[in-house]
Amino acid sequence: MTDQVDKLKERMFLFLYVHAQTNREININTFKRYIYLYYLSSNFFYRNAENIVISFDKTDITIPKFDDILDEFSLLDYIDIEKNSLLINDKLIARGEFLLPHHDDNKTGKFYELYKEIKPFVNLLVSYDDQLIFTIFFSEPTFQEANERGLYHLETSNSVLSKLLTQFKENLQKSNIDDYDILTHWMDFILKNYYKEVSSYEE
């Protein structure tokens, strides 16, 4: 369990570090949804993806140790927690720059590889606003299936999202298409169909 928590901590740190490059503030629930979507799609993007168990509570999720890690980051003065927002401090950025030297000859090691993995994922998610991430989160097939089946816990290795993305890629004729283009296509599809469905109800 300790090893799993340490890996989650690394990922949360890097998510915040990358996010701070464009915005020093992030809603806590939005951040949690970023982490949720990251873990659910990890088996599609990366081999030997980490598996965590997520708890469901109808309209929300619980990621084990998520709040404890935020509290630890706060104690380290990496972040300030104000109501529902996280404010990313200079200390976190300085620590990130120390761990991720910008000299090409120092760009090695597992931590840097993890940074290269997380950076494009965060940059994709921040291109959508909070409300759209909220929509994607509730329209995500794994979340929907869990609610329909009345599940309270889910292992991310069994993600419906990862399976659908893989199936979609296998059906494409262009095998060199970027995986992030596939995820973007899926997110846009979810949003387009969600709003189409909402509009039909309103009529």
Q: Which amino acid is at 74?
A: S
Q: Is pLDDT at 102 greater than 70 in this prediction?
A: no
The values of phi and psi at residue 82, to 5°, are -125, 105
What is the C-alpha separation between 100 and 115, in angstroms, rounded? 8
Instruction: Give the model confidence (pLDDT) of 163-181 as tens digits.
Output: 888 888 888 766 677 889 9
pTM of the model: 0.86
3-state secondary structure of 126: coil
Is the distance from CB of 165 to CB of 186 less than 8 angstroms?
Answer: yes
**Does 166 or 90 have the greater pLDDT score?**
90
The values of phi and psi at residue 103, to 5°, are -80, 135
200 CB burial (10 A radius; 0-12, 13-18, 19+): exposed
What is the C-alpha separation between 72 and 91, in angstroms, rounded? 13
